[in-house]
Amino acid sequence: MSDKLKEIIDRQNSQQNSAIEQSDKIVQLVGFVIGEEEYAVPILSIQEIIKPIRWTRVPQTPQYILGVFNLRGSVIPLIDLRTKFGLKPKKHNEETRFIVMKDEDDVAGFVIDRLTMALRLKKSDIGPAPDTLAGDDSAIEGVGKLADKILTILKVNKLLERDF
């Protein structure tokens, strides 16, 4: 009896381990478009994705900070990634979304033009950021290679860092 039990437990353990190993090699990302480029962030750093809602302007802030909005009782800053990445602001449309990202206690909403898809990417398919863009200051984590395109993977903690 106890042998059997042990066997089962062992088997479960090994399954779990292999699951962990698998997840070690795979990164789950959410892709989105800003301007012409496609970007992605790890799915685990996304708290939620919502349709645009009303926000309040906050004075004395850079242009890319649109203001703050109310997410079920929390006041959360709203950052326009278009403006932040040096593109011209665009009117929000049907496809515009707010992605609420979090890193430990930091939370902020980011305006993106359009969502693409959630994707699983092998770690080996992710290359480092180009040397010219790499470094601690860069908001680029790496470049993901897909069959037909590449996408830029962003560092969430960098995006959530106040830089003004």
Residues making contact with another protein (CB under 8 A): 54-61, 65, 67-70, 73-77, 105-108, 160, 162
Smallest separation (angstroms) from another protein to the CB of 84:
13
Smallest separation (angstroms) from another protein to the CB of 50:
13
Write b or e for each residue in 83-100: b if 16 or more Cβ atoms lie within 10 A of its Cβ, otherwise e: bbeeeeeeeeeeebbbbb
User: Is residue 27 within 8 Å of 127, Cβ to Cβ?
Assistant: no
Which residues, in sequence order, are bridge partners of residue 102?
A: 107
Report helix, strand or coil for 132.
Answer: coil
- Fill in the DSSP letter of residue 89: P
Smallest separation (angstroms) from another protein to the CB of 17:
35
Smallest separation (angstroms) from another protein to the CB of 164:
10
Nearer residue to another protein within complex by CB, 37 or 163 = 163
Give CB contacts under 8 A, 24+ apart, made by 128-132: none
Which helix (H) or strand (E) segment holds residue 15: the answer is helix 2-25
Nearer residue to another protein within complex by CB, 4 or 54 = 54
Nearer residue to another protein within complex by CB, 91 or 162 = 162
Nearer residue to another protein within complex by CB, 84 or 151 = 84
Nearer residue to another protein within complex by CB, 29 or 76 = 76
Smallest separation (angstroms) from another protein to the CB of 135:
22
- If we measure between CA atoms, which residue out of 144, 129, 139 comes closest to residue 30? 144
